[in-house]
Amino acid sequence: MKVAKSVAAFRNWRKIRTGRVVLVPTMGALHHGHAALIRSARKLAGRGGSVAVSIFVNPTQFGPNEDFSAYPRPWYRDADVCRTSGADAIFVPSAGEIYSPEHSVVVEESTLSATLCGQSRPGHFRGVCTVVAKLFNIVQPTHAVFGEKDWQQLAIIRRMVRDLDFPVGIVGHPTVREPDGLAASSRNGYLSAAERAAAPMIYAGMRAGAEKKSSAAVVATVGRAFAGIPFARVDYVEAVDADSLAPLKSRRMPGRLLAAVFIGGTRLIDNIPLPPRT
């Protein structure tokens, strides 16, 4: 497995690849959810293709009071996850390798990023779009795999690819969950034992809301469920159109239920589909 720390080293590896090259962009602290993405990429690449995993804790997508400096960076464990899950290369650049000291160009999506996590975390998706666009230019993947756990991010990346004509197929992978339903996340490790015991109530509350026949009833039901979660502070709960992220007007069209909840000091996100109902 190739480990490249510079753009030049990665491009030297990339230029001799044939077949599909599938990218799995990550910020490291890899867990079994990331392993599932890499295995999905391996299957998509096929025997003649290659899988590249990027590990880069991107400073431009963290706000001033967020956990950039504390974000875990367990390199040896991450490398082992990549190796055992089928990656052919890891691109692990420094911030200085990605951003020049005087960098002044950004990529910003202006519609889908205005609500939900974009409203709670100003500038976050500008950082995401900028670094993903740079990774696409460096890696030149034929496809890229993103987890559906961050549905808004996935929708924004799809929009960026469409609007900027990146020749990259975007593949969403279903959210990987723990046995008790909690969405797999590196941030789950920040939870205390009591907080971790309460966190699965997020998914349970969302599932209860999804049974309702109107968008308003969905949101109201989830809100009541979340009010009973110990240590919880709700950031948002929204029923939206699955593609445009606009408020879902009717359960007769496919939607998505998205939520962000602080459990103690840890912000967790989750989403589930809202299939059409008559």
Q: Output the domain CATH number for residue 252.
A: 3.30.1300.10
Among 120-124, 201-205, 242-246, 274-278, which is the least confidently predicted range? 274-278
Identify the CATH number of the domain in which residue 150 sits.
3.40.50.620
Query: 201-232, pLDDT tens digit by residue?
Result: 999 999 999 999 999 999 999 999 999 999 99
Q: Are 132 and 251 in the same domain?
A: no
The token duo for 248 is 């879902």
Say whether both 209 and 156 belong to one domain: no
What is the pLDDT at residue 66? 84
Q: In terms of domains, do 24 and 145 share one?
A: yes
Q: Are residues 138 and 226 in the same domain?
A: no
- Domain boundary among the residues 146, 173, 200 is at 173
List, for residues 15-38, the tens digit of each pLDDT value: 999 999 999 999 999 999 999 999
Q: Is residue 278 part of a domain?
A: no
**Each residue of 83-122: pLDDT tens digit?**
999 999 999 999 999 999 999 999 999 999 999 999 999 9
On whether both 16 and 118 belong to a single domain, the answer is: yes
131: which residues sit within 8 A by CB, 6+ positions away?
25, 56, 58, 60, 61, 98
Number of domains in the chain: 2
What is the Cα–Cα distance from 125 to 186, expressed in whole angstroms? Answer: 19
Catalytic residue among 31, 34, 103, 124: 34
In a domain, 179, yes or no: no
Indicate left, alpha or beta for 70 from its phi (over 0: left) and psi (-120 to 50: alpha).
Answer: alpha
pLDDT band for 278, please (50, 70, 90 cuts). confident
Domain boundary among 145, 173, 201: 173
pLDDT at 1: 96
> Is 180 inside a domain boundary?
no
Specify whether 249 is located in the same domain as 147. no
152 in the same domain as 203:
no
In this structure, is residue 156 part of a structural domain? Answer: yes
Range of the domain at 140: 2-173
173 is catalytic: no
**Does pTM top 0.85 for this prediction?**
yes
Residues 43 and 163 in one domain: yes
